[in-house]
């Protein structure tokens, strides 16, 4: 940010951004683009989760609640009222923020594993509710999203690449927000809460308030991902929108990459999705879950070997190769 | 002199245990008061009551003209009361500077402003050389220093120090005493819980003695040292003639 210091700031953003921007020009296979879109989307959800789950260490396993609310809000607005999903996306974000208030008020009374369990329950309750909303939200059958052909104003495109760039933009927004928070009082307060809530209170941190605030931001961003996802797959039902997998994946990519770090969720998603895709093509689906077993073993190994995430391994390796001067930049967190 | 802290008829039970019973004392602005007593006398519980970590069953606590009972700890800190913990609780993965900046953000939300205030506090406790170390890598005394700097960065008017000298060697105790004296000279009101008698005699103007949750004596150090009940409950016979040898560390 400061002109005096050469590089890192913009380089860390610039290099990955450049690669991400030209990638679809180099790889044209629809299969590859589809994987890239999933990587970007889950990296974005991971980034949103990381704000509350990584920096403040509130292990939410219910982010599917906001993903689903975003998905349903934009879909209902689109099908019932003809509102563009672009607007529906923001509306979904607002709905998620509103929902996060009572959910946060209930769950933040609990600490540790009890908090995690409570958040799982909120997502499951929402899923059950939407299963019952037959007239209003198509119940268990779900609905397809009417295909309007190529209409950018309705967030529908013939070219898959367009979805790629939307997902990339979402991820960029998430990273910029995280970057700003990390470099402000809010980032310090969040890490303090994650480290020791009582000690944070002792120096004037309103721990409940900061948790609620960051939860709102996290919920808003997760809802955007929900809208994007249903627009991309043209289908919605409660099991997709409120899938427990979304909640788990959001946490998992961050944990594998490195919680409470800017790039952790991105690194985690790239590694996990690449592993998963490679295993699928090598082992196929013919060996009765062999692929999932190996995937799980790799996960366990990573978490045992590097509980603080793989981003640290990469930056250490980088420092080792370049022999960068030790921690010149003002680090909020070491390493 | 105005009163910084007035504790009245404070009581707190934990099940059948009366941790603090009907405790009253007050602290004048700019004064250093020590709370002493055997283990389990209710010193730390009193701190937790004053700083909002426990709610009293009865009684009132007023600081700088405002009732504190019912406020959450962060609000009490914002009112000008900062504390340290008996076992230091640094934010381990943050650097020393980041730890102290987190305290400074209470009154200054800008990075530059907070950094400046943090530097000042770190300098005051003598940790400048270790500013960029992660807090978890510090030694015990440095962690205590850090906690003090973090508390000071919130710009308190009243500082509550819970056994900052436990586990320190004699030279380190001298350093800590000097630090507390300098804080007092800056006009800070200090309440200190401590077992190290040598340190208490050096810094405290008033000593409040607790036993089984009750106040058994209060007064100037010499008076309290001569009090028969205090000697029986806490100090032991070595103090009968007011001989403050400095060796008595319970």
Q: Give the residue carrying structure tokens 């895709």.
A: A277
Distance from CA of A135 to the nearest CA of B (A): 46
Q: pLDDT-derived band of residue B245, with 50, 70 and 90 as boundaries?
A: very low
**Chain B hits for A189, Cβ within 8 Å:** 102, 105
* Cα A306 → chain centroid: 21
- Contact yes or no for B85 and A199 at CB 8 A: yes
The pLDDT value recorded for residue A4 is 43
**Which strand (E) or helix (H) includes residue B7?**
strand B3-14
CB of B7 within 8 Å of a chain A CB? The answer is no
Distance from CA of A258 to the nearest CA of B (A): 14
> Residue-wise pLDDT tens for chain A (335 aa)?
344 444 556 677 788 888 888 888 888 788 889 999 999 999 999 999 999 999 999 999 999 999 999 999 999 999 999 999 999 999 999 999 999 999 999 999 888 889 999 999 999 999 999 998 888 888 888 899 888 888 888 898 988 899 999 999 999 999 999 999 999 999 999 999 999 999 999 999 999 999 999 999 999 999 999 999 999 999 999 999 999 999 999 999 999 999 899 999 999 999 888 888 888 877 776 666 777 787 888 888 887 887 778 887 877 777 777 655 544 444 555 44
All structural domains of chain A with their residue ranges:
8-322
Which residues of A, range 83-102, sit inside 8 Å of B by Cβ? none
Q: Quick one: average pLDDT of B37-63?
A: 93
Q: How far apart are alpha carbons B139 and B145 in whole angstroms?
A: 10
Distance from CA of B124 to the nearest CA of A (A): 18
Q: How far apart are alpha carbons A279 and A88 in whole angstroms?
A: 37
Q: How far apart are alpha carbons A63 and B20 in whole angstroms?
A: 44
The pLDDT value recorded for residue A318 is 73
**Chain B hits for A309, Cβ within 8 Å:** none
Question: Which one of A184, A204, A332 has the shortest CB-CB distance to B98?
Answer: A332
The pLDDT value recorded for residue A254 is 92
Question: Which one of A188, A333, A334 has the shortest CB-CB distance to B102?
Answer: A188
Q: Are A202 and B82 in contact (CB under 8 A)?
A: yes
The DSSP 8-state label assigned to residue B126 in this structure reads T
Rama region for B52: left / alpha / beta (φ>0; ψ in -120 to 50; rest): left
What's the burial of A121, exposed, middle or buried (CB within 10 Å: 0-12/13-18/19+)?
middle
The pLDDT value recorded for residue A323 is 58
Other CB atoms closer than 10 Å to residue A174's CB: what's the count? Answer: 28
Other CB atoms closer than 10 Å to residue A179's CB: what's the count? Answer: 16
- Contact yes or no for A204 and B154 at CB 8 A: yes
The pLDDT value recorded for residue A8 is 59
Give the pair of three-digit tokens for residue A155.
């967030």
CA dihedral B57, B62, B67, B68 (to 10 degrees): -60
Q: pLDDT-derived band of residue B208, with 50, 70 and 90 as boundaries?
A: very high
Question: Which one of A189, A206, A327 has the shortest CB-CB distance to B102?
Answer: A189
Q: Tell which of B54, B74, B87 to mutate to test the A interface (max A CBs under 10 Å).
A: B74
Q: Is B134 helix (H, G, I), strand (E, B) or coil?
A: strand
Q: Is A153 helix (H, G, I), strand (E, B) or coil?
A: helix
* Cα A201 → chain centroid: 28
The pLDDT value recorded for residue A273 is 87
Q: Among A96-105, A324-333, B95-104, B209-218, whose mean pLDDT is lowest? A: A324-333
Give the pair of three-digit tokens for residue B217.
């004596």
- Contact yes or no for B105 and A199 at CB 8 A: no
Q: How far apart are alpha carbons B166 and B33 in whole angstroms?
A: 18
What's the burial of B172, exposed, middle or buried (CB within 10 Å: 0-12/13-18/19+)?
middle
CATH superfamily of B1-80+157-250: P-loop containing nucleotide triphosphate hydrolases (3.40.50.300)
Q: Are A47 and A221 in contact (CB under 8 A)?
A: yes
The pLDDT value recorded for residue B239 is 56
The DSSP 8-state label assigned to residue B137 in this structure reads G
Distance from CA of B243 to the nearest CA of A (A): 38
**Chain A hits for B79, Cβ within 8 Å:** none
The pLDDT value recorded for residue A294 is 79
For A194, nearest residue in chain B (alpha carbons): B91
The string of DSSP codes covering B171-235 is HHHHHHHHHHHHHHHTT-EEEEE--BHHHHHHH-SEEEEEETTEEEEEE-HHHHHH-HHHIIIII
Q: Could you give the residue range(s) of every CATH 3.40.50.300 domain in chain B? A: 1-80+157-250
Give the pair of three-digit tokens for residue B56.
């009293």
Question: Which one of A204, A330, A334 has the shortest CB-CB distance to B93?
Answer: A334
Q: How far apart are alpha carbons A319 and A322 in whole angstroms?
A: 5
Q: How far apart are alpha carbons A291 and A280 in whole angstroms?
A: 6
The pLDDT value recorded for residue A54 is 93
- Contact yes or no for B106 and A206 at CB 8 A: no
- pLDDT at B246 exceeding the cut of 80: no
Per residue, what are the HEC states of B82-99?
Answer: EECCCCCCCCCCEEHHHH
Q: How far apart are alpha carbons B86 and B138 in whole angstroms?
A: 16
Q: Which position has the higher pLDDT, B96 or B247?
A: B96
For B137, nearest residue in chain A (alpha carbons): A334
For A204, nearest residue in chain B (alpha carbons): B74
């Amino acid at each position: 940010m400061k002109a005096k210091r050469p590089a890192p700031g913009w380089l860390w953003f610039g290099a990955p951004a450049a690669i991400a921007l030209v990638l679809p020009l180099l790889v044209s296979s629809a299969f590859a683009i589809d994987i890239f879109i999933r990587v970007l989307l889950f990296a974005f959800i991971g980034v949103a989760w990381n704000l509350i789950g990584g920096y403040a260490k509130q292990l939410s396993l219910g982010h599917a609640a906001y993903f689903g609310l975003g998905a349903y809000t934009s879909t209902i607005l689109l099908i019932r009222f003809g509102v563009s999903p672009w607007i529906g996306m923001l509306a979904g974000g607002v709905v998620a923020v509103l929902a996060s208030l009572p959910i946060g008020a209930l769950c933040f009374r609990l600490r540790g594993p009890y908090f995690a369990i409570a958040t799982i329950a909120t997502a499951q309750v929402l899923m059950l509710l939407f299963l019952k909303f037959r007239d209003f939200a198509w119940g268990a059958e779900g609905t397809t999203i009417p295909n309007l052909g190529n209409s950018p104003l309705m967030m529908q495109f013939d070219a898959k690449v367009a979805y790629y760039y939307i997902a990339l933009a979402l991820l960029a927004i998430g990273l910029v927000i995280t970057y700003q928070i990390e470099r402000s009082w809010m980032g310090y307060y969040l890490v303090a809460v994650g480290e020791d809530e009582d000690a944070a209170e002792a120096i004037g941190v309103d721990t409940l308030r900061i948790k609620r605030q960051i939860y709102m931001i996290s919920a808003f961003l997760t809802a955007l991902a929900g809208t994007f996802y249903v627009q991309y797959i043209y289908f919605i039902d409660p099991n997709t929108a409120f899938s427990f997998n979304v909640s788990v994946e959001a946490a998992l990519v961050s944990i594998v990459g490195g919680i409470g770090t800017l790039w952790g969720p991105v690194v985690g998603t790239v590694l996990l999705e690449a592993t998963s895709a490679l295993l699928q093509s090598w082992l196929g689906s013919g060996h009765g879950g062999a692929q999932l077993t190996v995937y799980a073993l790799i996960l366990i190994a990573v978490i045992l070997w590097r509980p603080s995430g793989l981003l640290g391994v990469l930056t250490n390796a980088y420092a080792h190769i370049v022999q960068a001067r030790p921690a010149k930049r003002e680090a909020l967190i070491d390493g | 002199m105005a009163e910084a802290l007035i504790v009245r008829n404070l009581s707190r039970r934990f099940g059948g245990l009366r941790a603090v019973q009907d405790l009253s004392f007050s602290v004048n602005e700019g004064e250093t008061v020590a709370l002493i007593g055997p283990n389990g006398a209710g010193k730390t519980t009193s701190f937790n009551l004053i700083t909002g970590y426990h709610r009293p069953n009865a009684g009132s606590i007023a600081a700088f003209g405002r009732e504190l009972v019912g406020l959450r700890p962060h609000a009490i800190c914002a009112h000008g009361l900062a504390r340290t913990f008996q076992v230091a609780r640094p934010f381990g993965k943050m650097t020393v500077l980041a730890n102290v900046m987190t305290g400074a953000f209470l009154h200054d939300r800008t990075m530059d402003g907070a950094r400046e205030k943090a530097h000042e506090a770190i300098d005051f406790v003598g940790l400048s050389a270790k500013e960029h170390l992660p807090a978890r890598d510090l030694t015990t005394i440095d962690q205590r220093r850090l906690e003090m700097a973090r508390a000071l960065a919130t710009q308190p008017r009243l500082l509550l120090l819970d056994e900052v000298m436990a586990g320190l060697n004699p030279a380190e105790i001298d350093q800590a005493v000097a630090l507390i004296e300098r804080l007092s000279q800056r006009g800070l009101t200090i309440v200190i819980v401590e077992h190290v008698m040598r340190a208490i005699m050096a810094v405290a103007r008033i000593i409040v003695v607790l036993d089984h949750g009750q106040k058994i004596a209060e007064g100037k150090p010499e008076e309290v040292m001569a009090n028969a009940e205090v000697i029986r409950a806490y100090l032991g016979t070595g103090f009968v003639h007011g001989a403050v040898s400095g060796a008595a560390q319970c």
